[in-house]
Amino acid sequence: MTETAIITENLTRDFDNVRAVDNLTLEVPRGIVFGLLGPNGSGKTTIIRLLLGLLEPTGGQAEVLGFDTRAQAGAIRERAGALLEHHGLYEKLSAEENLEFYGRINRVPKVECKARIKELLMNLGLWERRRESIGTWSRGMKQKLAVARALLHRPPLIFLDEPTAGLDPIAQAALREDLAALGAREGVTVFLTTHNMSEAEKLCGLVGVIRQGKLLAVDHPDTLRAQAGGPRVEIIGRGFSENTLTILRARPEITSAERQNGHLSLHLQAGTDVAPLINLMIGAGVQVEEVRKGKASLEEVFLSLMEEEK
């Protein structure tokens, strides 16, 4: 068994004159949650379709779980679970029937299938409503059920295409928690696309940023944040005069110092010790109430990458 779940090399897909995926070269190790971040229309869904062998690439190649997407698409689909752009559930059927159908498709033995359905629906809090037609369910419940369907046959890899899209914040948080718990419990590799930064930040061990089919960056969220700039400090207090700002801006370890809503925001060089700077400010007459240290958010990383590409 290879250590890599997905490898792509110059994977390209054109639709007429539009390049949806542009020379994508990527490696996703097994057992992690990989997040593909990108705005709408950036090619995320097309990449999933290419990896599942549902679309033929125009150029380049891809291997999923050691199988070539062109020649062995059937083997990939046999071993992968998927929650695509739409949940794809049969609304007239009950939750149990929906899962049973996909259990049968994936040849899960009957007894095992029943036990697995119970396990998944219990974990997702849907067991009590298993016999209802899912047409009356909320979108959040349907998304949860679709996640259960993707995991039913214990695939080593699942694709989730914007799983929390269109859900209210509470349902998003609930599904995110379920995904994190299920991912950890099942030990599957998760390939997740999203344009929700906090989702990627909370769930993903590795993040790729994509724009107009091009992969702009790929790394651990912390590393991406570190690359986007050194640490930052937010100081809450009083007396942030122009004179103080001038003194601070003259320091080589401070890359920027800005007043924002009565707070002071400092961007620092990596490895800067904050305590001497606080002393300096106190000496200049600043009354410090609170000091918050932090890093650039993934959203800032994303926006700066988008900006660079423009």
Q: Which parts of this chain interact with another protein (CB under 8 A)?
A: 49, 52, 54-56, 74, 77-78, 82, 84-93, 97, 101-102, 104-107, 133
- CB 120 → another protein: shortest distance, Å? 17
Measured from the CB atom, the residue of 49 and 225 that comes closer to another protein is: 49
Least Cβ distance, residue 74 to another protein (angstroms): 7
Pick between residue 97 and residue 253 the one whose CB is nearest to another protein.
97
72 near 63, Cβ under 8 Å?
no
Q: Smallest distance from the beta carbon of 86 to another protein, in angstroms?
A: 4
Tell me whether residue 61 or residue 106 sits nearer to another protein (CB atom): 106
Give the residue with the Cβ less far from another protein, 22 or 161: 161
Name the minimum Å distance from CB 47 to another protein: 13
Nearer to another protein, 84 or 126 (CB): 84
Residue 201 tokens read as 């930040």
Report the half-sphere exposure of 8 (CA within 13 A, side-chain side).
24
Residue 12 identity (one-letter amino acid): T
CB of 146 to another protein, least distance (A): 8
Min separation Cβ 266 and another protein, Å? 49
CA angle, 219 as apex, 27 and 212 as ends, to 5°?
A: 75
Tokens of 154: 């214990």
Radius of gyration of the chain (CA): 24
> Measured from the CB of residue 207, what is the shortest distance to another protein in angstroms?
24
Nearer to another protein, 91 or 309 (CB): 91
99 vs 203 by CB, closer to another protein: 99
CA dihedral 199, 201, 206, 210 (to 10 degrees): 70
Q: Which long-range contacts (CB under 8 A, 24 or more apart) does 236-240 make?
A: 236/262, 236/263, 236/288, 236/289, 236/290, 236/291, 236/292, 237/264, 237/286, 237/287, 237/288, 237/289, 237/290, 238/286, 238/287, 238/289, 239/285, 239/286, 239/287, 240/264, 240/286
**Burial class of 238 by CB neighbour count within 10 A (0 to 12, 13 to 18, 19+):** exposed
Q: How far apart are CA 177 and CA 163, in angstroms?
A: 12
Distance CA 141, CA 156 (A): 24
